[in-house]
């Protein structure tokens, strides 16, 4: 790790997921020295959870020089809405490129210099002066730079220290998720869902599914994965029980693949049998390691504090209905490097960068809340999970 060094054009990026990689790669593209510090000692892996590929991501890749081609995603040719019997209630021509978290992460990790990506680096303290920022890690290392980028996600350590009053608000429902390797889905279900972005809507709930790259970012037919998300209302007083994992550990807001409790997994599969059309029942039945995420709203009033910038989910967590969380992180980083190119004084550049990013975050929060509330509250009476 870098020790005492000149602060000019040196960035300390906290968080090595997509937001941190967007920031790190784009800062390097304007000739900054960048080191990324990731808390986890292992390579990150979401088992390929689905992402709608947005223009901001492709623009960030282009400007950062990240190599990508059609292997980054799978094209859906249309949107379809299923009825409860399993037929097509509606079809809309709409081509979209659908990718996975793993594909984006892999493309950026391969492009970012390994010697400047530090794993097992848990931030324990940070500070700043008029001339520089300082960061300290659990292993005793200290680093300095001219800019600290907080890309450490929804549970951001940096944000909690700077803005302890900011709290995430539970939206009243959760997302059950899963991935199914293409050969594991029944032929009948695959014939209906393949190469389509599909939806099923019913009272106070909805589910969606689409194909994404499979293991090793494969996009060849037969090697892809079906990604599905099922939004279901869950009373706040039930969350604690839902967030107990298979080992009996109380989780804060999500349970990763393979760690759902037996009770939660049974609830999921029984609910699928009651509520879902045949193709979606088949998806849930074929899912070996379903996982769970609570839906939250989080926003800040500031994204720039002196020489510190908050990006991605460290600043705003939009609901997933916007399909914009990854695009937002890319957009934050694109705008940040543009501001730093225009203004050499770093605090001044961050002050100029901040207003539009705040407005964009607030817009996504409003849009996500509107979409989520419409889909989860179609009828007056709530439906139990």
pLDDT tens-digit series, residues 140-191: 999 999 999 999 999 999 999 999 999 999 999 999 999 999 999 999 999 9
Domains and CATH numbers, the chain: 10-51+62-67+103-167+297-376 (3.50.50.60), 70-100+171-295 (3.30.9.60)
347 three-state secondary structure: helix
Q: Which pLDDT score, from 0 to 100, does residue 374 have?
A: 79
- The per-residue pLDDT for 381 is 35
Containing 100, the helix (H) or strand (E) segment is strand 88-100
Q: For the whole model, what pTM was predicted?
A: 0.91
**Tokens encoding 4:** 């005492």
Find all residues with CB under 8 Å of 270, minimum gap 6, and list them: none
What pLDDT sits at residue 204? Answer: 86
175: nearest Cα among 213, 205, 211, 212:
205
Instruction: Kindly state the helix (H) or strand (E) to which residue 273 belongs, with its residue range.
Output: helix 262-275
Residue-level pLDDT at 223: 95
Distance CA 213, CA 179 (A): 11
| Residue ranges in the chain modelled with pLDDT below 70 | 1-7, 46-48, 70-71, 377-385
Task: Give the closest residue to 310 by CA, choosing from 179, 152, 192, 155.
Answer: 152
Closest by alpha carbon to 346, among 151, 159, 149?
A: 149
For 204-232, what is each residue's pLDDT tens digit? Answer: 899 999 999 998 889 999 999 999 999 99
* Length of the chain measured in residues: 385
Bridge partner list, 310: 150
In the numeric block, the tokens 């097992």 are attached to 120
Helix (H, G, I), strand (E, B) or coil at 75: strand
Residue 183's pLDDT is 97
List, in sequence order, every residue forming a beta bridge with 123; answer none if it has no partner: 137
Instruction: Give me the pLDDT at residue 6, please.
Output: 53
């Amino acid at each position: 790790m870098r020790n005492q060094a000149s602060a000019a054009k040196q960035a300390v990026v906290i968080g090595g997921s997509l937001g941190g990689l967007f920031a790190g790669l784009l800062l390097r593209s304007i000739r900054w020295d960048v080191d990324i510090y990731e808390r986890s000692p292992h390579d990150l892996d979401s088992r390929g959870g689905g992402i709608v590929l947005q223009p901001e991501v492709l623009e960030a890749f282009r400007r950062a020089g990240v190599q990508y081609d059609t292997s980054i995603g799978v094209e859906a040719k249309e949107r379809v809405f299923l009825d409860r019997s399993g037929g097509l209630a509606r079809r809309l021509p709409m081509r979209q490129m659908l990718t996975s978290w793993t594909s984006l992460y892999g493309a950026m990790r391969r492009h970012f210099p390994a010697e400047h990506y530090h794993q097992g680096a848990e931030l324990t303290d940070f500070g700043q002066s008029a001339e520089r920022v300082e960061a300290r890690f659990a292993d005793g290392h200290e680093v300095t730079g001219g800019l600290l980028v907080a890309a450490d996600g929804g549970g951001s350590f940096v944000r909690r220290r700077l803005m302890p009053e900011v709290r995430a608000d539970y939206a009243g429902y959760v997302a059950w998720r899963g991935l199914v390797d293409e050969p594991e889905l029944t032929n009948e279900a695959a014939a209906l869902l393949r190469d389509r972005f599909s939806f099923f809507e019913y009272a106070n709930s909805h589910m969606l599914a689409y194909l994404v790259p499979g293991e090793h970012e494969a996009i060849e037919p037969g090697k892809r994965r079906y990604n599905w998300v099922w939004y279901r209302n869950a009373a706040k007083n039930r969350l604690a029980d839902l967030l107990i994992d298979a080992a009996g550990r109380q989780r804060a807001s999500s349970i990763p693949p393979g760690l759902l409790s037996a009770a939660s997994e049974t609830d999921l599969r029984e609910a699928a049998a009651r509520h879902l059309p045949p193709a979606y029942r088949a998806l849930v039945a074929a899912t070996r390691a379903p996982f769970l995420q609570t839906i939250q709203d989080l926003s800040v009033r500031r994204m720039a504090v002196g020489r510190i910038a908050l990006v991605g989910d460290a600043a705003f967590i939009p609901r997933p209905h916007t399909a914009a969380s990854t695009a937002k992180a890319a957009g934050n980083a694109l705008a940040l490097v543009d501001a730093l190119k225009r203004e050499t004084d770093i605090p001044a550049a961050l002050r100029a960068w901040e207003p539009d990013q705040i407005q964009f975050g607030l817009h996504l929060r409003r849009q996500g809340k509107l979409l989520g509330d419409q889909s989860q509250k179609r009828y007056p009476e709530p439906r139990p999970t």
